[in-house]
Structure 1
């Protein structure tokens, strides 16, 4: 029997150039929901992603005849906004050496600091071989186009290992995530804390009722009553608080999510006498809940913690989800039950001097991250010793 034809690379300037069924056939639980065709399409077709905001789609696909065998979401970037992997210092260093840092090629999901697959492979294919071909294709395409580098942001640990074997340098980062230790109730979760910390959490949990607020999560058919303009208003209220804030997402993005992606959408509302006061827009995968965007139309102590942490945690326990990822940053999450979790990215810069400097920096950064893990874990406020079996 003859060997199968080698895959052919195609570059797509819109996700709509790739048939939805073919793309989604590559997905497994480790890729959902953020690599679903409809999510990427909502970003592009709502004008939240595009050349006007520095994200030029250049999706990579490998075809064997008419069959899509592998793919990766990819973008030409002429800045580093919306990536959540800081490389501004690298760009500055390169410029000082007279080396152009932009444009670069990134394999990522825009504005989404969530670990999930970045290299999609069809069922029945040799994953190791196809991942290596995608990694190599990204490099060859970037070199041919004169880009400075290739960056793969928030891949899985296994993908990072594969990329490292292909010559990429792997970077470690840290996020604070909540893990379900088999809790039977939210009280089981609270019981893990030292007494003083537990009393503080209970005080924060009582705050919404004292403020006249009621919290609830809307999903499924209940989303039909959600106004996408309200979601955009909440999102903008947070973005606009920061000097560096930028409204990448458009009102149409939220409308598209509710109409074409409702199976993965959840909205936490905080209302007083029927009036919306605050809320969070979350996404859910097969086993994990993801906090994405939050906003508040008035200031209330501890409301952020309740809408964005405690309420989703309690919901995750009730539904038996494995994990809740409340997003990047925020050391306040540590003292409220989130634990440090490693994230990864992979980088290859074509200028030998800049690449060597980045690799040296990453070695020192990795040592600092690994050294910091025990300290961050100690800050959760959990009691020492084994976890007491939860009540049912």
Structure 2
């Protein structure tokens, strides 16, 4: 690395302004030897969001991608957006926004470094190997400088890795803890091997739930790669619209996203469907990472007992075991996941606030929140479904 060559930063309004290979050399250099760690910061995923109109004008997610270069080489980049609201983030700051505006400030727009609509842990400061420290520092400084120059209230980095959270804290960002439920694969040979690690009562309950789901009157299939067909997305769009309307008011993703993803990301997706006389009546969409299966969206047009648990949780475990994946991330919230083998883990985010007084108040709040999250994880872990002997073995 030539220390005499300055790092330059570009702010791009579209991913079409950078070559996919150039972006992915920072976003997923590990993909040269297989899958990316996760697909959510790859050029193909972010481009699908942009090309489909899921982000961009009118969505409150205006792309402001950061690209750091050392001479002619791109050494780091970040998926950053100017946000006019706090929807689709899953690290909730609505109370911060209300307090900021009640004090006479404008909380929006803010800058968000994130994989939109995706509460999945992954790298947010995307650096070429060997440029990690330089890249994180350059991208952070650029985001803060952009916020200051444009009178923007704050910068947020959501669902970053723990290493990034620690590095960001060291250079002056505030670290926030949240909590999710993840399933961990302890080298299970099959689903029965997983069940054997549970207490008798939990084991019987899961078997009962799977039997009820399988008895819904149709067929359950798990599809990926070439098995995915355009007609499957017609069906899943109905499911997604129903869930989105109930949870968020308006679905975050457009119909066009699924068509583009079908063309560019079929190998990255696992779609679990319940078919009644060959017609899909419920489904769960997952994305496949190098070591992790990421559960993302669920929906149905018919209600059947336990079908949600089967498609979202148990089919995901089946796939992870079969493919040798280390874990399943089941998305945001949901203490009901605990009884099904998904255990509480900490997730991380970073925050910078321009107003010094407000930043001090948030820092104090985050200190108390961290203690509460730690306590909640400890308590919930104690209610986990695993046999005591299994827990002692993993410790």
Q: Check conservation: 2:76, 2:131, Cα contact below 8 A.
A: no
1:286-297 equivalent positions in 2, closer than 5 A:
286-297=290-301
TM-score (norm 2): 0.95
For residues 66-110 of structure 1, give each alpha carbon's deviation from its aligned partner in whole angstroms, at most 9, with x where no partner exists: 221111100001110111110010011111211211111110011
Q: State the Cα distance separating 1:281 from its structure 2 match.
A: 1.4
Q: Secondary structure at the match of 2:81?
A: strand
Q: 2:187 aligns with which of 175, 182, 188?
A: 182
1:373, 1:141 → 2: CA distance? 36
**Compared with structure 1, are the counterparts of its residues 2 and 383 closer, same or farther at alpha carbon in structure 2 (3 Å cutoff)?**
closer
Q: Which residue of 2 aligns with 1:56?
A: 62
- The answer to whether 1:355 aligns with 2:359 is yes
- The answer to whether 1:197 aligns with 2:202 is yes
Q: Check conservation: 1:231, 1:254, Cα contact below 8 A.
A: no
Q: Check conservation: 1:94, 1:100, Cα contact below 8 A.
A: yes
Q: Check conservation: 2:165, 2:348, Cα contact below 8 A.
A: yes
1:59-98 equivalent positions in 2, closer than 5 A:
59-98=65-104
1:261, 1:49 → 2: CA distance? 18
Q: Which residue of 2 aligns with 1:40?
A: 46
For residues 365-384 of structure 1, give each alpha carbon's deviation from its aligned partner in whole angstroms, at most 9, with x where no partner exists: 00001111121112222111
- The answer to whether 1:151 aligns with 2:162 is no
**Compared with structure 1, are the counterparts of its residues 389 and 331 closer, same or farther at alpha carbon in structure 2 (3 Å cutoff)?**
closer
1:263, 1:33 → 2: CA distance? 10
Task: Tell which deviates more after alignment, 302-311 or 90-99.
Answer: 90-99
Q: Secondary structure at the match of 2:389?
A: coil
Q: Check conservation: 2:295, 2:331, Cα contact below 8 A.
A: yes
Give the gaps of 5 or more residues in structure 2: 31-35
Q: 2:178 aligns with which of 170, 173, 198?
A: 173
Q: State the Cα distance separating 1:58 from its structure 2 match.
A: 0.3
Q: Secondary structure at the match of 2:155?
A: strand
For residues 228-276 of structure 1, give each alpha carbon's deviation from its aligned partner in whole angstroms, at most 9, with x where no partner exists: 222211111211234x432121111001111111120111111122121
Q: Which residue of 2 aligns with 1:316?
A: 320
For residues 178-235 of structure 1, give each alpha carbon's deviation from its aligned partner in whole angstroms, at most 9, with x where no partner exists: 0101111101111122212211111101013322132111111111364322221111
Q: Secondary structure at the match of 1:52?
A: coil
Q: State the Cα distance separating 1:65 from its structure 2 match.
A: 2.8
Q: Check conservation: 1:7, 1:62, Cα contact below 8 A.
A: yes
Q: State the Cα distance separating 1:389 from its structure 2 match.
A: 8.7
- Tell me the number of residue pairs that the alignment of Structure 1 and Structure 2 aligns: 388
Q: Check conservation: 2:180, 2:332, Cα contact below 8 A.
A: yes
1:213, 1:308 → 2: CA distance? 17
Q: Which residue of 1 aligns with 2:329?
A: 325
Q: Secondary structure at the match of 2:305?
A: coil
Q: Secondary structure at the match of 1:304?
A: helix
**Compared with structure 1, are the counterparts of its residues 2 and 23 closer, same or farther at alpha carbon in structure 2 (3 Å cutoff)?**
closer
TM-score (norm 1): 0.95
Q: State the Cα distance separating 1:126 from its structure 2 match.
A: 3.0
Q: Secondary structure at the match of 1:48?
A: coil
1:241, 1:40 → 2: CA distance? 25
Q: Secondary structure at the match of 1:25?
A: helix
Q: State the Cα distance separating 1:28 from its structure 2 match.
A: 3.7
Q: State the Cα distance separating 1:16 from its structure 2 match.
A: 1.4
For residues 286-322 of structure 1, give each alpha carbon's deviation from its aligned partner in whole angstroms, at most 9, with x where no partner exists: 1111111111111111110000001110121111110
Q: Check conservation: 1:136, 1:166, Cα contact below 8 A.
A: no
2:58, 2:278 → 1: CA distance? 38
